Structure 1
Amino acid sequence: MPDNSVEGLKARYGDRWRWLAVVTVVVGTMATVLSATVVNVALHDIMLEFGLRQGEVHWLATGFIAAMTTTMLASTWLLDRFGVRPTLVCAMTLFTLISVAGGFADTPGQLIAARVGQGAMAGLMQPMGMYLVFRIFPVNRRGQAMGIYGMGVILAPALGPVLGGFLVDQFNWRYVMFAPAPVTFAGVWMAWRFLPVSSSRPARYTFDFSGLTLLGVTIALTLDTLTRLQALGGQEVRIMAQAIAVLVLLVGFVIRERTARHPLVNLTLLRQPAFLYATMGAMALGLALFGSTYLIPLFVQTTLGFSATEAGLLMLPAGVVLGVIFPLAGKMADQRSARSLVLFGIAMFALSAVLFAWMGEYAGFGWLAFWAVLGRIGIGFMLPALSIGALNPLAPEQMGAGSSSINFARQLGGALGVNMVALAIEFGEHVKGLPTAQAFESAWWLVALFVAIAAVPVWKMRA
């Protein structure tokens, strides 16, 4: 059996072992983001096959993100208990099996359950990349490493819609569920070969199951309450009761985390202003990234009559440009103020959302693709700078909790963002059960507003 200690990896691969480890976690990251985005171009076909409204089909996106948001906080305990290599291998193996099972779903409930299962495994995988980068790279090279790692986050949204569109048009929507499986299957082999074995781990401690349960129920009930707002008539009392229950559960979760010996969420990190403001910015980034990735394919297919392949190709230039921008922005994050980079990114993304809201119905393919490029440039500047600004002030032993928390904030923003975008579309005008351009316009203005509001906490970050 090969020696996978840090010394053993250095002996086999030299200094490049760090980059081989980063590429390995990039594979896992690509699979999770690919799975999160590839289904969006298939939503139109799924709606038609199962007779679903937009207010129901959004659970394929929201369920995935909500499950990912909840389970990613368990990654800190798993990393401390088992280490990054066995945890990542198990998560990728289960992710592969669930993806294949989802492709054979016969009912909407089975398909949504598979998406929730994918999201749960993705939540365990995604924070490990950031954790590994901040553990194995020195401070002055973390921005560059985050730029390379972030290409996994970027390439998957670029390739996902194109791949999904091709699969939907040439085969059927079921193949978008199969698509991530080969990637994670390859990732299992790479993890055993290139990831280091922890030389020392913290003393064993109990997992905060109570905190995880409270958080999971709170998120699920919040999203269900938002969904019920789409059909408000006759449900006012239930919606009000659920809203009160959400507040009670949230208070209970905060009390539990403040008193638990080993909390699921280390709330003390929020006492550091830079981490607090970066966390707020990460929530806005999640709303922007997942909200726009959900909106664009559904908009151009439903309102403009694009095919699934055309919808995917529309997103391709944005992903390619972002793939170029991201490493550069990561390197700039080592040299410049995180605040200035994030504010520039917010301005670019807000401009993109305003253009989609203002002229999206009348624009041709080229203009729509250009506006998508502007939005992805904004995200490219925001993501590495937020991570650097949040995690650099933390002590090494806080990296696991910090990376989990910042990823949690981004995913929570994504889960709430997709649900709120779906709510805005559902309240808009519909013709024959399908949303019109006016409905999508409202959703784009909502995205632009929330991203603009994020400039307030980001402005308070230290230069």
Structure 2
Amino acid sequence: MTTPISPVASDGAASRVRPGPTAIALVLVLGSIMVALDQTVVNVAVHRLSQDFAASLAAVQWVITGYSLALGAVIPVTAWAAGRFGAKRLYLVAIALFGTGSLLAGTAWNIESLIAFRVLQGLGGGMVMPLAMTILLRAAPPGRLGRLMSMLGLAILVGPLAGPLLGGRLVDEVSWRWMFLLNVPIVVLVELLGLRVFPRDEPAADRRLDVPGLLLLSPGLAALIYGVTAGGERGDVTSPGVLGPLLAGGALVAGFVARTLTSRHPLIEPRLFRRRPVAAAGAVLALFATGYFGSMLLLPLYFQVVRGETATAAGLLAAPLALASGTSMQISGRLIDRIGPRAIVTAAAITASCGFVLFAVQLSADASYWGLCGALVLVGLGGGSTMMPTMTAAGAGAPRDLAAAVSTAVNLVSTTVAAVGTAAASVLLTAAISARVPAAGDDGLRAFHALPPDARAAAAPTLADAFQHTYVWAVVLTALAVVPALFLPRRDEFLRGAESTQPDTRPGGEPCQTTESRSAT
């Protein structure tokens, strides 16, 4: 009697030791941590960079916003590039580009060169998270999607937690340059592990790039962010140098939307947003991420500028928020299969908004750190249970062959509005400081550095009021996110959608998006 040969055995020894989805997720987490870390690590260095380069807050803010804007600019092309070149290959290229930008940023000689190298970082980093989601959505077996996505969400824990702590320590004790140079050995490790554990995929040679759409969307987003930032720096949104970019950016984005609705090969598939889970998730992310990530710029500045703390101390004081965020993310990722995203995200958005309210009402020049940290715990609990469960709901609500398109769309929304939020926070804070501290004029934070120590101490209560006023917008935006959260899938809808993300059993495991599959959506 002949014993049948199993498919696993016939694939040879390499197939018998093929890494499972957990190993894949862990490598993806390591790569995503770097990108998340570099979105927060610079926040505690804004004060030092402003001093070292004699730059205004509006200029230094571009070290953060330029990075975030580059993230958003490259995300639209990720879905096409993943199909054209393969998700594994593109992920490793993106990590290498990020590492190159990190190395160059660590050697920057002025604020302009630092901004330029941060943009290069962002061009690589922008592809990392959507590609990681794509790889994981395709590797996740039924019933484990929420848990594996929560593992990927560890980057959101480690980034905000380690970013301020590590950045503060390096700024105070070593040099801000090592905030970027430390990425280099991690990049090498991710490259080696990724080559070994990521499943092989086959590129889809027939995928076409919507070049006109790309040329409309990326410059449009850049112009809008520039207009918002320039308006805050000049204190006048009606000047030609501000109004022009705003109008041009709006026109380009509107042109992109019009083209997307008529193109045979759109850069971002518009049919995705006809699916309620994707549309609701996009709305939640647009509102919540603007307020949540924009406030990340304000927190370390408050502790350093108003309270006179070091960068290390500012990072430590922000740790409760990050720890609560990561803890709640892991819990919510495991509960999403039992409760469903609608209940979890709705409660989480309410919790975060209440945390922002409690933090803002306490904000003063001598507020209790215990009270402030308690409010930050609520913000973190809400934030951790909002972001990744929302992205998971969107991914589970689309067919498996649209995994790259869904992850690209939700990451584009999240990254773009995070850049808008950071720019808006800088604009509002600079305007609030200038209005309350006449000696600062229109220079905001840079002029405050030039004040004598006694004058800075005397201005602390007024500055605290400026920060308190700026935090109001975070309260409003996170509260508004509750409305679209009510349209996320219930538990039964979520579980039915998750069944469409079962792993592909074909050799190579990289499904192609066909015309028929697009029409079916």
Q: What range describes the TM-score normalised by the shorter chain of this pair?
A: over 0.9
- 1:283 aligns with 286
Out of 157-166 and 447-456, give the one that drifted further.
447-456
Match of 1:207 among 209, 219, 226: 209
> Counterpart amino acid of 1:213?
L
Q: How does 1:5-404 map to 2 (within 5 A)?
A: 10-13=15-18, 17-198=20-201, 200-230=202-232, 231-233=234-236, 236-361=239-364, 362-404=366-408
* Separation of aligned partners in 2, 1:97 and 1:441: 39
* Separation of aligned partners in 2, 1:404 and 1:233: 35
Out of 120-129 and 284-293, give the one that drifted further.
284-293
The offset of 1:365, in angstroms, is 2.8
The 1:319/1:456 distance shift into structure 2, 3 A limit, reads: same
- 1:448 aligns with 475
* Separation of aligned partners in 1, 2:389 and 2:57: 34
* Separation of aligned partners in 1, 2:237 and 2:123: 33
The offset of 1:282, in angstroms, is 1.3
The offset of 1:306, in angstroms, is 0.9
**Which consecutive unaligned segments of at least 5 residues does structure 1 have?**
none
Work out the number of aligned pairs and report it. Answer: 457
Contact 2:32 2:155 in 1 (8 A): yes
SS at match of 1:139: coil
2:464 equivalent to 1:437? yes
> Counterpart amino acid of 2:476?
L
* Separation of aligned partners in 2, 1:461 and 1:22: 25
- 2:506 aligns with none
Deviations 1:349-402 (A, max 9, x none): 112222222112232333332222211111111123212321212111111100
Deviations 1:23-73 (A, max 9, x none): 111111001011111111111000111122222211111111111012122
Contact 1:46 1:52 in 2 (8 A): yes
* Separation of aligned partners in 2, 1:118 and 1:297: 23
> Counterpart amino acid of 2:480?
I
* Separation of aligned partners in 2, 1:322 and 1:91: 27
The offset of 1:232, in angstroms, is 3.3
The offset of 1:80, in angstroms, is 0.9
Contact 1:345 1:381 in 2 (8 A): yes
**Which consecutive unaligned segments of at least 5 residues does structure 2 have?**
1-7, 449-462, 491-521
% identical aligned pairs: 27
* Separation of aligned partners in 2, 1:373 and 1:234: 36
- 2:451 aligns with none
Contact 2:222 2:249 in 1 (8 A): no
Deviations 1:330-349 (A, max 9, x none): 01111113111111111121
2:461 equivalent to 1:459? no
* Separation of aligned partners in 1, 2:251 and 2:320: 45
SS at match of 1:226: helix
* Separation of aligned partners in 1, 2:13 and 2:155: 26
The offset of 1:429, in angstroms, is 2.4
* Separation of aligned partners in 1, 2:475 and 2:310: 26
Instruction: Please report the TM-score for the alignment, with normalisation by the length of structure 2.
Output: 0.83
> Counterpart amino acid of 1:393?
G
* Separation of aligned partners in 2, 1:117 and 1:411: 16
Out of 385-394 and 357-366, give the one that drifted further.
357-366
* Separation of aligned partners in 2, 1:332 and 1:155: 21
* Separation of aligned partners in 1, 2:237 and 2:138: 53
Deviations 1:298-317 (A, max 9, x none): 11111111100001111223
Contact 2:167 2:312 in 1 (8 A): yes
CA RMSD of aligned residues (A): 2.1
The offset of 1:239, in angstroms, is 3.0
Instruction: Please report the TM-score for the alignment, with normalisation by the length of structure 1.
Output: 0.94
Asked which structure has the greater CA Rg, the reply is: 2
Contact 1:34 1:180 in 2 (8 A): no
SS at match of 1:394: coil
Out of 320-329 and 402-411, give the one that drifted further.
320-329
> Counterpart amino acid of 2:32?
T
2:426 equivalent to 1:422? yes
- 2:494 aligns with none
Deviations 1:94-142 (A, max 9, x none): 2112111111111111011111111111111111221122111133110
SS at match of 2:348: helix
* Separation of aligned partners in 2, 1:120 and 1:309: 29
The offset of 1:237, in angstroms, is 3.7
Deviations 1:204-252 (A, max 9, x none): 2222222222111111110111122221359524433333322321221
* Separation of aligned partners in 2, 1:108 and 1:40: 15
The 1:218/1:354 distance shift into structure 2, 3 A limit, reads: same
The offset of 1:203, in angstroms, is 4.2
The offset of 1:7, in angstroms, is 8.0
Contact 1:421 1:447 in 2 (8 A): no
* Separation of aligned partners in 2, 1:244 and 1:11: 57
Out of 22-31 and 238-247, give the one that drifted further.
238-247
The 1:268/1:42 distance shift into structure 2, 3 A limit, reads: same
Deviations 1:232-284 (A, max 9, x none): 35952443333332232122111222232321111111111221111111122
